[in-house]
Chain A
Amino acid sequence: MNMQPLEITGLSRRRFLGAVLAGAGVVAALGRSARATAGEELGSLNGARLLTLSDAHAVTLAAFAESVLPQGPGLPSIGDTHLIQRFDEEFFFADAAVRADMQTALTALEWLPVASGILHHFSTLPLGRRAEFVAQLVQSRFETPRSIANSLRVVVHFFHYAHPATWALSGYDGPFSHLGPQLSEQRLHYLALTKAKA
């Protein structure tokens, strides 16, 4: 029996990101990455502000979601499930450390192909190659890229398939009493700040 214990992080995600950037020799890109990680330039989507994601993060996230969700006619898109907004909203209300980890993960993901010797950022890879790359990441023998890919996959699938737009696909018959949504103070606050639609 393999009794190998869990590998505990020896290299933090932030330090890993630094290593990725240095190793790839992408000094010119540092400005963009640093701003994105610090959240100084928050993004927007379809006229609605984003409160956690920069435009660059939103592009990376959308590219990742496209890679792990089924594509095809009749299948709900990430627009149908408001995935980017929901992701932005949920992390806006999480602890700063949780939010920062997510931002760092997205920035690292964008540069991981470059660190792997591929002359593309993650979001500019063609869909097929992007999906192959994610499939490799989730089973990588290296802890940090594996954790980044798996953590993002879990959250994307959670938010996507919890949305009613996917229920026809899954056969879920919805909440038991069909009470209709009761928006919390935080949901209303987020919608007011971003001018997004529920």
Chain B
Amino acid sequence: MNGRIFEYNDLTRSEVVRAEVCVVGSGCGGATVAKCLAAAGHDVVILERGGYYPTRSFDQDELNMNAKLSDNRSLKTASDNTTVLLSGHNVGGASVHYWADSYRTPADRLQLWAERYGVAGHGLVELSPAWDEISAALHIHPAEDEYFNRMSELVRDGSRKLGWRGDRVPQARHNCQKSGHCMQGCVYEAKKSQLVTHIPAALALGARLYADVRAAALTTSAGRVTSLHAEVIDRPSGRPGTARLTVEAKAFVVAAGGYNSAALLMRNGFGRQLPKLGHGFGFNPSPMVHAVYDEDIVLWRNIPAAYGVDHFRLASYAHDGSYLEGGYLLMPNQLQPGLLAASIPLLGAEHAHWMQRMRRIGSTIGWIDDHPDELGHIELNDDGSSRVVYPYGPTTSAMLRDLIKKQAQLHLACDAREILVAGARALRVRGSKDLDAIDSLEVRAGGLLMGSPHPSGGCAMGRTAHDSVVDSSHRVHGFSNLFVADSSVFPTAVSVDPSLTIMGFSYLAARHIVDALR
């Protein structure tokens, strides 16, 4: 075994690669499962369609790093045209541009998945030892005082005034320099992304990683995958070159991320026997609210979110089932100037007037816990590319309005001078008298600018091929050696940032794969 990274310029001729396990994807799911399998003594090959960008290639430039790290350069949207699909396109996946917020899956969510969806063996008892190990490796700990920028202080103080529960956000970082460039990749290797943790650990244990390699076709026979065929992408042009890679392995793990795993299986015709493939898709829609303060906020420095409000994590409903409030986390926001400008829904001089006050702009964001009965799905375009269709149903729309209103209330509690909702109507709030206008905010295409950083579902875990895609051993129904290990196996959204849930599940997936290899 020879642990190393191969890149497009190493892969000039077509070749066959043999291994015990082939892992498709190198993000939180793929890197973690590869590291665990390599640690168990297995010969592992990791395929990553994006490029390998070591931290020495990071320059903290907003556009340069968006181009290196973000799939489709953050230009792809869901069917509503304005929910931007955010995912990684590089070795280490989205963890390289994530915020390092590292929550353990809430017990109530694990219970829901077990009771409603039939997920077995993924409770606190099974996951806690994995989380303990990951927490030690990734230095996960609550944010200390020095990592509160002014926005995190305002979220903490404002939420306390309002009587909302919150806490320090657990962070996967060590020796952080407070640069504010988490989303541009951490040049200091302080943020513990997969690029600087599980990937090098897997390589040290002998795993091989092929960057710039896009999985295309799975060859199957008698309920087994026998080989995987992949294109080598010419990184400079971003187009497929002439070289092809064929991987022959005893087991295959799809860990291409929430936006891609289901699509890969759909392109290979698995939907014919798995009717739920691509369904049950969520992505934590995340509306933003900006505000101008009478003091400098300097939103773009220190860590993104040292303090989060989890008071409204679970939605509450009336006796008749109608929605009351909640169903989200509320967090401080962090934006460099390009994305801040993009999210200010004003034009011309008015827009420039806001940008001129950038030092005094504060911002909040929230992750909607996708309602289980209003999830979306993934479709394939004629060219095989994927398309996310998300319905924004009535409860989801009500959650969005409630989250926007709560963000505005928080800014008001912090004495913001003027508040602006990041939506097409440029809704402004200057006092509590204006809050009711949010109740009639239209949630519509081209109406709200939102990111969607946390995809889930599409290959949901469950009991049978009629209600799910994988069983509780992460094995695709009907296939003895095909597994899925990423956020696409979650039956619903996690209700908190999902990275630690993905890693914990991947630890458990690795155990099942080890068993299958015996």
A residues near B, CB below 8 A?
1-9, 67-72, 75, 86, 90-98, 102, 131, 134-135, 138-139, 143, 146-151, 153-155, 157-163, 166-167, 169-172, 175-177, 179-189
Residue of B nearest to A189 (CB): B236
B residues near A, CB below 8 A?
51, 53, 57-64, 67-68, 72-73, 75-77, 79-82, 177, 179-181, 184, 187, 235-238, 300-301, 336-345, 347-349, 351-352, 355-356, 358-359, 381, 383, 385, 387, 389, 391-394, 397-398, 401, 424-425, 439-447, 449
Residue of B nearest to A156 (CB): B342
| New A-B contacts (4) at CB < 8 Å, excluding given A146-B424, A179-B58 | A146-B444, A150-B424, A169-B355, A181-B64
Cβ-closest 9 pairs across A and B:
A162-B338, A6-B392, A161-B341, A175-B60, A176-B179, A70-B352, A189-B236, A147-B446, A158-B342
Cα A149 to Cα B381 with chains together (Å)? 24
Pick the residue among A1, A7, A67, A172 that contacts B444 (CB under 8 A): A7
Pick the residue among A135, A151, A161 that contacts B82 (CB under 8 A): A151
Cα A147 to Cα B441 with chains together (Å)? 17
- The interface residues of chain A lying within 8 Å CB-to-CB of B187 are 177, 179
Question: Would B394 and A3 count as touching, CB distance under 8 A?
Answer: yes
Distance in angstroms from A15 CB to nearest chain B CB is 15
Take A1-B401, A6-B397, A187-B67 as given contacts and tell me if A158 and B339 are in contact as well, using a CB distance cutoff of 8 Å.
Answer: yes
Cα A171 to Cα B469 with chains together (Å)? 50
- The interface residues of chain A lying within 8 Å CB-to-CB of B179 are 176-177
B interface, over-half SS: loop
Question: Would B445 and A6 count as touching, CB distance under 8 A?
Answer: yes
Pick the residue among B59, B425, B439 that contacts A175 (CB under 8 A): B59
Pick the residue among B340, B347, B391 that contacts A131 (CB under 8 A): B347
Cα A175 to Cα B186 with chains together (Å)? 12
- The interface residues of chain B lying within 8 Å CB-to-CB of A171 are 356, 358-359
Question: Would B424 and A172 count as touching, CB distance under 8 A?
Answer: no
Cα A20 to Cα B398 with chains together (Å)? 34
Question: Would B180 and A176 count as touching, CB distance under 8 A?
Answer: yes
Distance in angstroms from A40 CB to nearest chain B CB is 19
Residue of B nearest to A89 (CB): B67
Take A157-B344, A158-B341 as given contacts and tell me if A184 and B68 are in contact as well, using a CB distance cutoff of 8 Å.
Answer: yes
**20 A-B contacts, Cβ less than 8 Å apart?**
A3-B398, A5-B392, A90-B63, A90-B75, A93-B67, A94-B75, A131-B347, A147-B82, A150-B449, A157-B351, A158-B338, A161-B338, A170-B356, A171-B358, A175-B181, A177-B179, A179-B58, A182-B59, A184-B57, A186-B238
- The interface residues of chain A lying within 8 Å CB-to-CB of B385 are 95-97
Question: Would B341 and A67 count as touching, CB distance under 8 A?
Answer: no
Question: Would A176 and B301 count as touching, CB distance under 8 A?
Answer: yes
Cα A162 to Cα B65 with chains together (Å)? 11
- The interface residues of chain A lying within 8 Å CB-to-CB of B59 are 175, 179-182
- The interface residues of chain B lying within 8 Å CB-to-CB of A143 are 444-446
Question: Would B57 and A182 count as touching, CB distance under 8 A?
Answer: yes
- The interface residues of chain B lying within 8 Å CB-to-CB of A159 are 63, 338
Question: Would B356 and A94 count as touching, CB distance under 8 A?
Answer: no
- The interface residues of chain A lying within 8 Å CB-to-CB of B53 are 184
Residue of B nearest to A8 (CB): B79
- The interface residues of chain B lying within 8 Å CB-to-CB of A167 are 337
Cα A7 to Cα B81 with chains together (Å)? 11
- The interface residues of chain B lying within 8 Å CB-to-CB of A166 are 337, 355
Distance in angstroms from B355 CB to nearest chain A CB is 5
Distance in angstroms from B75 CB to nearest chain A CB is 5
Cα A149 to Cα B442 with chains together (Å)? 17
Question: Would B445 and A8 count as touching, CB distance under 8 A?
Answer: yes
- The interface residues of chain A lying within 8 Å CB-to-CB of B392 are 5-6
Take A176-B179, A187-B64 as given contacts and tell me if A98 and B339 are in contact as well, using a CB distance cutoff of 8 Å.
Answer: no
Question: Would B81 and A184 count as touching, CB distance under 8 A?
Answer: no
- The interface residues of chain B lying within 8 Å CB-to-CB of A1 are 398, 401, 439-440
Distance in angstroms from B263 CB to nearest chain A CB is 12
- The interface residues of chain B lying within 8 Å CB-to-CB of A95 are 72, 76, 385
- The interface residues of chain B lying within 8 Å CB-to-CB of A138 are 345, 347, 424, 446
- The interface residues of chain B lying within 8 Å CB-to-CB of A160 are 338, 341
Distance in angstroms from A124 CB to nearest chain B CB is 19
Take A96-B385, A98-B76 as given contacts and tell me if A70 and B446 are in contact as well, using a CB distance cutoff of 8 Å.
Answer: no
Cα A4 to Cα B444 with chains together (Å)? 9
Cα A98 to Cα B356 with chains together (Å)? 32
- The interface residues of chain A lying within 8 Å CB-to-CB of B62 are 162
Cα A138 to Cα B448 with chains together (Å)? 11
Pick the residue among B76, B352, B439, B447 that contacts A169 (CB under 8 A): B352
Distance in angstroms from B176 CB to nearest chain A CB is 11
Cα A169 to Cα B357 with chains together (Å)? 9
Cα A7 to Cα B352 with chains together (Å)? 31
Question: Would B301 and A189 count as touching, CB distance under 8 A?
Answer: no
- The interface residues of chain B lying within 8 Å CB-to-CB of A135 are 347
Pick the residue among A75, A146, A153, A170 that contacts B358 (CB under 8 A): A170
Question: Would A68 and B73 count as touching, CB distance under 8 A?
Answer: no
Question: Would A9 and B383 count as touching, CB distance under 8 A?
Answer: no
Question: Would A157 and B342 count as touching, CB distance under 8 A?
Answer: yes
Distance in angstroms from B244 CB to nearest chain A CB is 20
Cα A181 to Cα B184 with chains together (Å)? 13
Residue of B nearest to A157 (CB): B341
Distance in angstroms from B82 CB to nearest chain A CB is 6
Distance in angstroms from A127 CB to nearest chain B CB is 10
- The interface residues of chain B lying within 8 Å CB-to-CB of A184 are 51, 53, 57, 64, 67-68
